Every structure is written in structure tokens, then in C-alpha cells.
Amino acid sequence: MDLIEKATVMHYHRHRIGQYSLGTAESLGWRNANSQRMRYEVLVMAGDLNGASVLDIGSGYGDLKAFLDQRFTDFDYIGVDQQPEFIDEARARYHGFPRTRFYQSDFITASLPQVDYVFASGALGYRCDNENYYTDMILKLYGCAAKVFSFNMLDKQHFPAHDLLVGHDREAVLAFSRTLAPRVVWFDDYLPDDFTVLLHRD
């Protein structure tokens, strides 16, 4: 993404914060909290996160952290987002929580840590003129995952045209994923315009 594209994403979320209020799922770009939760339920089919290390790309307010806390224990969580408003709110919510860190950073250019599981929910849904951007990001994020990289994308067969958000060719994404990982699992039965891909190391 170039600087104009990144600035457009930040402006989009600031507009939605003004429209839906800081801290809401809608300000993150989701239809509602239920659609966000449904995506999380599929993402965490990646494996047993008890005692694991987790990197959440495009972490927003840390909602995935709260979701994981209801299901797993003793895990390390790192959230990364470029939107300062999101990170400020996440740090306020989780102040004093052990083994929980949030960083305001551009995950495209940042040096990211090696962890067991990498999650990207919605982070690969923004329009970009660079046709290699999405495969480059899948490659980079998979490279950070010792066990599984789990991500979702909008399905271009069902997602309507949008000025900022973009749907993807599921079969092309799966074909590329299979060139990287020995085992690729995918789901498209939880929402009509979304699919999730899990790239396993084993």
C-alpha cells in the first residue's frame, strides 16, 4: 500500500468512529459485533492456543484478545494496528493485563515477531493498486507463524463493489496458499461474502 492508500484507510475508520462511536465493531468496519464473532470462531479453528504465542494483525480494539480469553489460558498476545485511536483504546481496555501488548505500527513494513499463531481478521480486505500486495502479505505473515497463519478475506463472487474494501478470488488465494503450506484448510460456510484460510506448518 502506498501512503495515499494508507491515509484513505485511516480516514475511513475515523469517519466510522464519528458515525458509530469509538470502541464499536462497526467503527472497525464490521457490520456488527455478531459478524465479527462469527469470523473469530472460524479463525480459532487453527488449533489449541493454550500456552501459545499469538500475533493479531489489524487488532483494532483487541476484541480477538477478549474472545480468546473466553476459550484459552496462559497465552501471550501481541496486537498490531496502524490506527492510533484503535491502539489507544485497546491499551486502555487491557492496561495491566499480563502477557498482553499492543503496538501502533504498519504491519506491512514493520519487523514482526515469530509466534505460534498469526491471525489477520479483516486486515487483507482493503483495496490496493499493487497486485502483489496480498500475496506478499500472506507470505510475510505465514513466515511469522511457527504453527498456523489464519486469515479471512471478502469473497469477490458475493461482496458488492466498494470504494475501499475489496473482494478476492478464493480459488486464486487457495492456489497461492498451497504453494506455501503443506496443509491448507478453508471455510466459506459462516457468512455469505467471506472466506477463511488456515495455513498449517504440519
Outline where DSSP puts E strands in the chain: 53-57, 76-81, 100-104, 115-120, 145-155, 167-168, 183-187, 194-200
Cell matching residue 82: 496502524
Phi-psi region of 58 (alpha: psi -120 to 50; beta: other; left: phi over 0): left
**Does the structure show a pLDDT above 90 at 175?**
yes
Residue 180 pLDDT greater than 80, yes or no: yes
Cβ–Cβ < 8 Å for 162, 123:
no
Integer angstrom CA distances of residue 66 from 4, 40, 115, 131? 32, 11, 19, 34
Chain segment 14-34, per-residue pLDDT in tens: 888 898 888 888 888 777 788
CB 41 within 8 A of CB 63: no
CATH number for position 48: 3.40.50.150
Find all residues with CB under 8 Å of 55, minimum gap 6, and list them.
78, 80, 112, 113, 115, 117, 118, 119, 144, 145
Question: Total domain count for the chain?
Answer: 1
| Structural domain that includes position 99 | 3-200
- C-alpha 128/C-alpha 38 separation (Å) is 26
Report pLDDT for 77.
98
Mean pLDDT of 150-176: 92
Based on DSSP, count helices (H) and strands (E) in the chain, helices before strands: 6, 8
Question: Are 15 and 109 contacting, i.e. CB atoms less than 8 angstroms apart?
Answer: no
Question: Which pLDDT belongs to residue 200?
Answer: 98
Model pTM?
0.94
Q: How confident is the model at residue 131 (pLDDT cuts 50, 70, 90)?
A: confident
Top pLDDT among 65 and 8 is at 65
* pLDDT > 70? residue 121: yes
